[in-house]
Amino acid sequence: MPNEKDILTQLQKIPYPGSRHDIVTLGLVRTVTLQENNVTVHFRPSSATPDTLQRLSQKITATLSAVSGIGTVSIHTGRPSGPEAGPGPVTAPGKTPLPGVNKVIAVASGKGGVGKSTVAVNLAMAIHALGYRVGLLDADVYGPSVPLMMGTEAVPRAGHDKKIFPVEKYGISLISMGFFLDDESPVIWRGPVVMGIIRQFLRDVLWGELDYLIVDLPPGTGDASLTLAQEIPLSGGVVVSTPQDVALLDVNRGIAMFRQVHVPILGIVENMSYYLCPHCGEREEIFGHGGTAKTGLEVLGEIPLVEEVRTGGDTGKPIVLQHPEHPVSQAFRTLAARVIEASQMSIH
């Protein structure tokens, strides 16, 4: 008799229509319950046409019915009730899109020190270089780094009705708590204050017309990340990690957070994937290599560890801008193209 894990393994074989990802990876299977040999799948995409839902239901039924030991297969498209329902997803019924913003991509990491902000900044620059209108929201209220990495100390201009204009740099619209703090001010706000700041950055900033808004989330799964996921519909999440096991332990929490709030996970970026010697070109895998593949997510890019990435961030000239022909810049452009492709196919 198969167990719940066996059933989920079978469901991972079912791709969401138009996507490279399966329904389990996208977080669309809420729970699976077993009673004797009868299976109930609690499944509800955040938005799917009746035709898509019917096709998925038929595919789920056919896939599970072919498994030895399974009797009837029932599919519930609403929230399960009773003890088997579990805690349920964190949802916000009042999600409203940002005016003029086509897609919002969240860049997250399970822990600090993996280069998440470096990836977010260069990803934004690379998408812009491909001809798209891009904004960058620094949601790391406690440790804002976007102003430094983008080389600007400008102050956002005030608009009408207490709205503000984002700072413009390198053709990208920017907002960050770093624009409102001096270098020595400690940030000791509690959760409700942080949540309020994130809402203001979303709703009170005059973003204008953007193809993509990249959000640099703080490490972990705290108030800022949940507020963002609950406040607006996200087109997808990108997870950043280094290859070593100690980083991957925390990555799973970030993956679980995205799935809990029904945000499609576009894939994972392996940062500091290997060291590339600037003199001989020899590749050395300092932190190991390929560990991110263990997550089961699509690896969107492998970014090597090179000095130009660090100096670009410290001097406010991202490597994609300063050295566009560098192999790392090319890796970021490939990453950008894959994120764009995955977001085009993601559900909302």
- Rounded Cα gap, residues 101 and 207, in angstroms: 7
Sorted by where each starts, the structural domains of the chain and their CATH numbers stand as 4-85 (3.30.300.130), 101-345 (3.40.50.300)
| Model pLDDT, residue 18 | 60
Q: φ, ψ for residue 254 (rounded to 5)?
A: -65, -40
| Model pLDDT, residue 205 | 92
How distant, in Å, are the alpha carbons of 17, 68, 99, 100, 342 from that of 195?
35, 49, 20, 22, 28
| Model pLDDT, residue 192 | 66
Name the pairing type of β-strands 265-276 and 283-284. antiparallel
- Rounded Cα gap, residues 125 and 136, in angstroms: 9
- Rounded Cα gap, residues 188 and 269, in angstroms: 31
336-348 residue pLDDT tens: 999 998 887 654 4
Residue 221's pLDDT band (boundaries 50, 70, 90)? low
Mean per-residue pLDDT, 209-215 = 94
Among all chains, which residue has been given the structure tokens 């891009």?
A: 134
pTM of the model: 0.70
Check if the beta carbon of residue 304 is closer than 8 Å to that of residue 273. Answer: yes
- Across the chain, what does the average pLDDT equal? 82
| Model pLDDT, residue 324 | 93
- Rounded Cα gap, residues 312 and 292, in angstroms: 25
Mean per-residue pLDDT, 295-310 = 89
